Amino acid sequence: MQLQNYQYQQLISHYEKVQLKNARILENRVREIDEKIPAIKNINKAIAMISANSALKKLGADLIEDKEGGFDVAGATLDDIPTLSKKKHQLLVEAGYPENYLDPIYECPICHDTGYIDDQKCQCFKKRIIEYLYEESNLGHVLEKENFDHFDFNCYSDGYIDEDEKMTPRDNIHIVYDLAKNFCENFDKNPSHLLIYGTTGVGKTFLTHCIAKEILDKGHTVVYLSAIELFNILGKSNFGRNTDESELNTTSEFITGCDLLIIDDLGTELVNLFTNSQLYQIINRRIIGEQPTIISTNLSFQELEETYSERVLSRIDYKYTFLKIFGDDLRIKS
């Protein structure tokens, strides 16, 4: 997975905001304790001066001569700091505060809210990337319920054999399921493209949601858009006026550059020369770039041929695996 620059900057910005927020909290705590427990203020000054003197000794410079709060700073060493820190913690507890009240505050104690350990991404950064990708995918919380863990084969009938496919809807969905899982498992090694088609209500969108969750959980970028949303965005990018050009460019960049693009309900958009041209460009560009794409549609292959240009259909026919789902309308059954 390769985050685009603007995505990476947004994630780093999150850490910067966390650091700033916690620094302000700690600053307010220090101010509060300075007022309520002056002895701790003196201890902190003494610790700072002892540390400074340690550095000055190495440089051969004059030491700070002070007895801050009764502490002989010049005569102290770094070995005395743990004792002073312990005294500070005792004073905090005696005043009713946690002993770590003045310690630095971190959401992640491992990387200290930097996102990195040496030059490696911290686990919190990896987790944040996946959360961010979920937000960017346009799927919200729908994947909490619509995923492979909730896939129910019993929703598909085994009581009749389809005349065209020569199998029951349940036998067919088992084949489709295995091909979808194979798509996910080989996503990194052998990227491919899927066309999922069938009549309304047979579970095409549910299946695309299942695949999207698997790919997001691998830490890949996924963009999920209905055909209407997709061409609306592309239309604004090409012809829009009085719009935020940088935002449109960013959105278009994300659509063309994401690891997996899912176009739902192809055929529901207003089909014209522009949408045909844009669809061809997206499909062709992503085939050349080996960036997987999934298209779902209610149209049969014959209807696709009648609706879209020969160039579009030739690219789909050349590189896409066709998954047909058939059966009863699950929305009516439920």
CB count in 10 Å sphere of residue 206: 18
Helices (H) and strands (E) in the chain, counts: 12, 7
With b meaning 16 or more CB within 10 Å and e meaning fewer, what string describes 138-169?
bbeebbeebbeeebeeebbeeeeeeeeeeebb
pTM of the model: 0.67
Q: Residue 199 contacts by C-beta under 8 Å, 6 or more apart in sequence?
A: 298, 326, 329
- pLDDT for 247 equals 45
- pLDDT for 67 equals 59
- Where does residue 247 rank: exposed (0-12), middle (13-18), buried (19+ CB within 10 A)? exposed
Spatial separation of the C-alpha atoms in residues 298 and 282, rounded to whole Å: 20
Q: Residue 70 contacts by C-beta under 8 Å, 6 or more apart in sequence?
A: 42
Q: Hunting for tokens 């059966």 — which residue is that? A: 327
* Residue 222: strand pairing partners: 260
Contacts for 135-142: CB closer than 8 Å, 24+ residues apart: 136/7, 136/221, 136/223, 136/254, 137/212, 137/216, 137/221, 137/222, 137/223, 137/224, 138/223, 138/224, 138/225, 138/229, 139/209, 139/212, 139/222, 139/224, 142/209
CA atoms within 13 A on the CB side of 54: 12
Q: Are 313 and 276 in contact (CB under 8 A)?
A: no
- pLDDT for 248 equals 43
- pLDDT for 1 equals 47
CB count in 10 Å sphere of residue 302: 8
- pLDDT for 5 equals 75
Ordered per-residue pLDDT tens for the chain, 334 residues: 456 677 788 889 999 999 999 999 999 999 999 999 999 988 888 888 888 878 877 777 666 666 555 666 767 778 888 988 999 999 999 999 999 999 999 999 999 999 999 988 888 887 787 777 777 777 867 888 899 999 999 999 999 999 989 999 999 999 999 999 999 999 999 989 999 999 999 999 999 999 999 999 888 888 899 999 899 888 876 655 444 444 444 566 667 778 999 999 999 999 999 999 999 999 999 999 999 999 999 999 889 999 999 999 999 999 999 999 999 988 776 5
- pLDDT for 235 equals 84
- pLDDT for 56 equals 78
For residue 186, give both structure tokens.
Answer: 């080989």
